[in-house]
Structures are given as C-alpha cells and as structure tokens.
Amino acid sequence: MVVESGPLILIVEDELEIADILMVYLRHEGFACEHAGDGRRALELLRRQHPALVILDIRLPGQNGIDILQAIRGESGIPVIMLTALTDDVNKLVSLRLGADDYISKPFNPAEVVARVHAVLRRTSRLKDPSASEILHVGNLYIDTGTYSAAVQQAEGGRIDLPLTLTEFRLLAFLARQPRRCFSRNELIDACLPESDALDRVIDSHLSKLRKKLQEAGGADLIETVRGVGYRLWYER
C-alpha cells in the first residue's frame, strides 16, 4: 500500500486516462495528487489546496493551458510543468516565456514525468530553503534567494520590488553571483533550466523581459549583451 505523504501535485488534464496513469505513477512515488479536467476547476484547486507543483496540459476545454499558466503566474510562483503535443513548438516557447518551469511532449513515458517532477521540486526548493538563502547586492540591486525576492534601491531612498517569474529570478540570481562575468546562453540554460529543452531564443526572451523590468524599476543597463558570447550583469564600481 502506497502512503501519499509527499508534496501535493495538481494534474490539469482533460483526458482522464492520461490523468489516471500519471496519478498512479506519482502516488507510487509517495506524492499526493489532485486532478482537474478544466481550467476553472484547476484554479479553484490551486487556490484552495496550494499544491507544490502543477502538471498542466496546454490543450484544455474552455480556457487553454496558456491562459491558465498566465493566471497562475499572476498570483503564484508555484512550479509548473506543461504537457504539450509533440509538434506544438510555438506553445512550448510561449509556455517557457510565460514562466513555465519545464515542458514534456506527448506521448510521454510516465516515469519520465515523475523524474521531471522530482527534478523541478529539487531545483525550486533550493531557492525557497531559508537555510540556503543568500543576500546578493550588486550596485543598486538587492536579491534575497531565501524569500525569492529582488528589488532596486532608489536614489531618493526606498526600494522598488521586481515582479519576476521563477525563471527570471533564477537568471538574475545566477548572474548576480558573479557580476561582470559573461555567461554563454548554454551556460545559462544549464544553470537555470537544466531539465528543459530550452533553446537560445527562449533565454533571449527571458532576459529581454528581465532587462525591461529592471529598467522600469531604475536598474537600467544592468544586464548587458556581449555580442557573439552571451550575457553579463554589469555595474560601475
């Protein structure tokens, strides 16, 4: 008998057979599971149950998975793994740009899904573990890895908080740990999205949005593009 004592996983999938298979595999690993067949039910469960991770199908009745991902990211940093059709490249890219932590193409091996769930939870728990927290200070930028928060110090006093997605936060913290050093796109993917199949242009998109948020908060030009090499976090000492 398997005891569901582990983190709660919310599976948002309208095909009951697929959802049942995932729940069997996840419960065998000790995870607790909830299932939603549409977006409305998914958001209800998300707000009531506060799952540790969401497995979200893109093709849902009514609101599609992209809409649900946007709603989740509007109110939560809960990790999300997207389920996509094998040929759904555009939606894969959109999902990652909107803050999905990983994606898996259908048809899939359920054991791989379980492995990805473990990997994403390990990665995100390191960011949320207060015992592993760091306070990073680069120029007028402040990052607290224990509370998953970042802010820009203003010249007149006070700080403006940065509304970052989980991926944007990972990238910013990674660059801030070694300011002025240039990292290639592959290094950024390996460090911040190691289990995904993200492409170079996805990293470019994340960093473009991160740069815009920094500029809007008064942290202009902190992220520099080094042509032909990659990116770095730069500030004048």
> What are the pLDDT digits (tens) for 139-193?
888 888 877 889 998 877 788 999 888 888 889 998 988 888 899 988 888 778 7
Q: Per the domain annotation, does 1 fall within a domain?
A: no
Residue 144 domain-assigned (yes or no): yes
Same domain, 112 and 143: no
The rounded distance, in Å, linking the Cα atoms of 222 and 139 is 9
Residue 3 pLDDT > 60: no
Most confident option among 13-22, 63-72, 188-197: 13-22
**Residue 24 pLDDT more than 80?**
yes
Give the pLDDT score at 202: 81
Domain presence at residue 222: yes
Query: Is the Cβ–Cβ distance between 161 and 151 less than 8 Å?
Result: yes
For residue 65, give the CATH number of its domain.
3.40.50.2300
Is residue 192, in this structure, part of any structural domain at all? yes
* pLDDT at site 49: 86
- Residue 174 corresponds to which tokens in the numbers above? 């990674």
Question: Is 217 in the same domain as 152?
Answer: yes
Looking at the structure, tell me whether residues 165 and 112 fall in a common domain.
no
Element (H, E) at 9: strand 8-12
Contact indicator for 4, 33 with CB cutoff of 8 Å: yes
The Cα 189–Cα 192 span in angstroms is 5
Same domain membership, residue 192 and residue 160: yes
Which residues span the domain enclosing 14?
Answer: 8-128
Examine the domain organization and report whether 180 and 71 are in the same domain.
no
How many other C-beta atoms lie within 10 A of the C-beta of residue 237? 5
Edge-to-edge strands of the sheet including 183-184? 183-184, 230-233, 223-226
Nearest to 92 by CA among 202, 194, 205: 202
| CA 130/CA 168 separation, integer angstroms | 19
Domain assignment present for 164: yes
- Boundary-marking domain end, from 78, 95, 128: 128
Q: Residue 140 in contact with residue 219, Cβ under 8 Å?
A: yes
State yes or no: pLDDT of 130 exceeds 50: no
Residue 166 lies in a domain: yes
Domains in the chain: how many in total? 2
225 forms bridges with which residues in the sheet? 231
Are 124 and 143 within one domain? Answer: no
Both 160 and 65 in a single domain?
no
21-35, 46-60, 194-208: which range is least confident on average? 194-208
Residue of 105, 62, 59, 64 whose CA lies nearest to 81: 105
Look up the CATH number of the domain holding residue 180.
1.10.10.10
Last-in-domain residue among 128, 161, 191: 128
| Cis bond upstream, residue 163 (ω within 30) | no
* Together in a domain, 216 and 201: yes
Do residues 117 and 138 both lie within one domain? no
Residue 3 in domain: no
Q: pTM surpassing 0.85?
A: no
pLDDT, position 146: 73
Same-domain check for residues 189 and 139: yes
Q: Which residues, 6+ apart, have CB-to-CB distance to 224 below 8 Å?
A: 231, 232, 233, 234
